[in-house]
Amino acid sequence: MIARASLVIGVDTGLAHLTAALRVPVIALYIATDPALTGVHGSGFVRNLGAAGAPPSVSEVLTVAEHVLRR
């Protein structure tokens, strides 16, 4: 299922990292961890949003998602 997705939005878990490894566009959301330490990396589209104590806003996530889906 992940491999056929146009975009995956998920929290800082193995699922987001697996998505990046499959080169599927991913938006990883951070609320309690530092994306500089545990962020998702990959050769495809990867965007880490938020940080410890500073979750991303819904509008920020939607803006990035719309950008990816227009590609």
14-23 pLDDT, tens digit each:
999 999 999 9
Query: Residue 68 carries which side chain, given as an amino acid letter?
Result: V
Alpha-carbon gap, residue 1 to 39, rounded angstroms: 22
Predicted TM-score (pTM) of the model is: 0.91
Please write the tens of the pLDDT for every residue from 29-48: 999 999 999 999 988 899 99
Fold entry, domain 2-70: Rossmann fold (3.40.50)
pLDDT at 10 over 90: yes
Percentage of the chain with pLDDT > 70? 100
Domains of the chain, by residue range, sit at: 2-70
Query: Residue 71 — pLDDT band, cuts 50, 70, 90?
Result: confident
Helix (H) or strand (E) run with residue 61 in it: helix 58-70
